[in-house]
Structure 1
Amino acid sequence: MQCDYFDAGACGSCTLMGVPYAAQLASTQRTAAAYLAEHVPHDRWLDPQPSREAGFRNKAKLVVGGRKGAPTLGILDPGGEGVELRHCGLYEAELHRAVLVLADLVASSGLTPYDVPTRQGELKHLLVTVSPDAQLMVRLVLRSPGQLSRVRELAGPLRQALPGLRVLSVNLQPEHKAVLEGSEELVLSEQDTLPMRVNDLVLHLGTRSFFQTNTAVAAALYAQAARWVDGVDGGQGPRVLWDLYCGVGGFALHCAAPGREVLGVEVSQDAVASARRSAEEQGLTDTHFHEGDATTMLGEAGAPDMVVVNPPRRGLGPRLAGRLEQSHVQHLVYSSCNARSLAGDLSRMPSWQVERARLFDMFPQTDHHEVAVLLRRR
């Protein structure tokens, strides 16, 4: 892949830009395998799951810079000035089109970009997500409600220019710090979730729901986890499965099966509501979702036959890893975006053995990675 922004030195986010994709994938595989060498024998690795090297991102996280009438959409330079990246080659085609439409409409809307050096202005970020069915979620992050009326006026032109627009919202982030969004969200559309079709399921993404930025590779990850789950116990699969850090229910819903009790646990109330909605639409009466702390479930509410975990980048940590080590759980699927923290957690669980491991190249052009492992009790 070639990128004009990278070549011009305007953006260095894609650290592997210009490296042939096959070499990128091989390098990422070697890196993950090196971190996990103590825990994953060479013959336990499956072939890595590749990605499209361009046009794969389903989400744009754009800093708004520039000035009123002439905004920039992209990132900030070291001095806090906006850097234009609206033609980033990583975006899915419909997402790219939406970004271009937003750039034009924001320019003519009267919205004032937030200027970091002077701490003046209102519009801080644009967060745009596209589904496989070309439906869109557009979120505008404002410093205050001061220009909310301008966003409301923008809604009509946005819907006309973007027929796939399903969710439109304003997030308020009043603090001057490097975070994308605040805690208050104002949904301006009739619908408040974006249906995200993944394999044969529809997941519902709320405005602040986490979802992988690469839909095709996420689909492969969920499908792999479901195959591993169904294959344990001689192909019988577990009778009771828990999905900890379940988010909007991607793993739990993919692993649901007749006669299997599935429980998803997530601290986010919005994500749990979305997951419940998806389960209801699928008619999954034995799949339930609970709002709570994943680190405290084991031991407090018994233990299932199998657990799926997809923790934040920091990993499970000593507390949950210790609970898994001491539990009666027999099988575990661990999906990790950080092989180093995964290795640390596996060191805390010496009674577990890795049966299979696979790299999922969720983030081409970078050395970031997603690794899934299947473990069983020794």
Structure 2
Amino acid sequence: MGNTLFSAGIVGLVFPLWLTRDMSGNDSTFGFSLSLSMVIVFILSPIAGTISDITRRKMPFLVATTLIAIFATALIGVFNYEVSITLFCTAVILIHLANIFYNALLSDVSDESNVGYIGGLGVGVGYVGAIFAVVCGLLFYDTEGPVFLFKLMAILMFILVLPLFLLGKYSISEARVTEFRSLIETAIKQAFMSLWEARKKKVWAMFLFARFWYFSSIYAGSVFAVLYGVETVDLTEREVQLILAVGIVFGIPSGAIWGFLVDKYGAFLNLKLNVMAWFFILGLAALLPVMDLPAQLWWVVGVLAGVFMAGLYVSERPFVISMSEAHKVSEYFAVYNMVGRLAAISGPFAWGFISSTLGMGQVASITWLSMSAFIGFLVLLYAKSD
């Protein structure tokens, strides 16, 4: 829930508004900051996953990365513009590294018969953090301002992750102790070997290639949604937050429903369905301002985004587990995250470059995102022949 609160509240809501409204930033400033963060995550994620596998420990790394990210979040806006952007990038990097260890925990609490349900339940519960983010925004954005919200959301993140920290399985007795330099060398070697070995599994390789395309579109669309709604659609900050809240409310039960569908029909089929849906969602978002369609349709976009974001998360993690060997789960998730971070580099960069650098505007940016989702869907369709 803490990570979801960060994604929805800090990255998806407060920071972009603070950056563009209060600090005179633009799409490029926000997009390039995210892209730089993801470059670093791209480098570190396979190392983090391999270290987790070698030491057989996930919780200590999850705790450390999350706590430092929370501390960095609380300090955004306290110092000058440049330091605040650095703190934001630091928090983004550490939250995404924490997700590697968090995702790998799924294999510890589930088996093949219920992995979809457990994953779906986790996604549904995780949306509670996003609800906290939206409620905080509605209550305090206009009255207290974004800097206050950075601190408040950091405190809430700590409260939400505290039960996991206290009750999580640390497996200290099973941990391996090894020399640090040897650990890093092994991690780097295994990371590149994992990417090289991915080509031997056709479905896995095609999934990674597809994920680059569809995740770049979905990630960029989600982080720029608030700016798109406020600047292009001419919604108020409050209207955007209410639409986000409705999407989250629909996303909570959707996680459990998608989990049931994954267990019944398989993760890969559900994944293809969700990626195709995102092509239509982003396409609809691009058409609404261009064709001057009724404003009520924005609520439809919000609901669909909440439902199919949950479906995407629920479908992906069980599929990765099904592809990996039991002793390489963290390593597979690291490669999965590494591709996702590469996509998260290109998505925000493309948005900022198209919208601000080329001056083509946000509609052109979101149209490109819709096309990227469609490319990812076509790649997944091709992978069915394996």
TM-score category of the 2 structures, normalised to the smaller one: under 0.3
Higher relative contact order (CA 8 A, sep 6+): 2
TM-score computed with the length of structure 2 as normaliser = 0.23
Task: From the two aligned structures, give the one with the greater helix fraction.
Answer: 2
TM-score computed with the length of structure 1 as normaliser = 0.24
Q: Rg bigger for which structure?
A: 1
